Amino acid sequence: MQDKIGFEEHFNLPQFDHELPPYENPQRMIEIRRQLLDLADERLGEMDASGIGYSLLSLTAPGLQAVTDPAVAVTLARQVNDALAEIVAANPTRYGGMATLPLQDPQAAIAELERCATQLRFPGVMVNGFTDTPDGKGLYYDHERYLPFWETAESLGVPVYLHPRNPLPANAGIYEGHPELMGAVWEFTVETATHALRLFTSGLFDRFPDLKLILGHFGETLPPFMWRIEHRLSVMGDRIKTRKPLREYLQANLYVTTSRNFHTPALNNALTELGVDHVLFSSDYPYESMRAAAEWFDHADISENDRLKIGRTNAMDLFPNLPQKIGNPAE
- 330: Cβ contacts below 8 Å, ≥ 6 apart: none
* Count of CB atoms situated within 10 Å of the CB of 190: 17
Active-site hit among 132, 284, 298, 301: 284
Say if residues 54 and 1 touch (Cβ distance below 8 Å): no
- 77: Cβ contacts below 8 Å, ≥ 6 apart: 64, 100, 101, 102, 108, 109, 112
Pairing outcome for strands 4-11 and 52-59: parallel
The residue length of the chain stands at 331
Distance between CA 217 and CA 189 in Å, rounded?
Answer: 9
**For 4, which DSSP code?**
E
- 282: Cβ contacts below 8 Å, ≥ 6 apart: 6, 7, 8, 9, 216, 257, 258, 259, 293
Distance between CA 130 and CA 139 in Å, rounded?
Answer: 5
Distance between CA 55 and CA 40 in Å, rounded?
Answer: 13
Residue 14, burial from CB neighbour count under 10 angstroms (0-12, 13-18, 19+): exposed
Q: Residue 140, by phi and psi: left (phi above 0), alpha (psi -120 to 50) or beta? A: beta
**H/E segment holding residue 127:** strand 124-127
Buried b (16+ CB within 10 A) or exposed e, 230-246: eeebeeeeeeeebeeeb
Side chain identity, residue 320: P
Told to judge if 284 belongs to the known catalytic residues of this protein, a careful annotator would answer yes
In what order do the strands lie in the sheet containing 213-215? Answer: 4-11, 52-59, 95-99, 124-127, 160-162, 213-215, 254-257, 279-280
Question: Which residues participate in catalysis according to the annotation?
Answer: 284
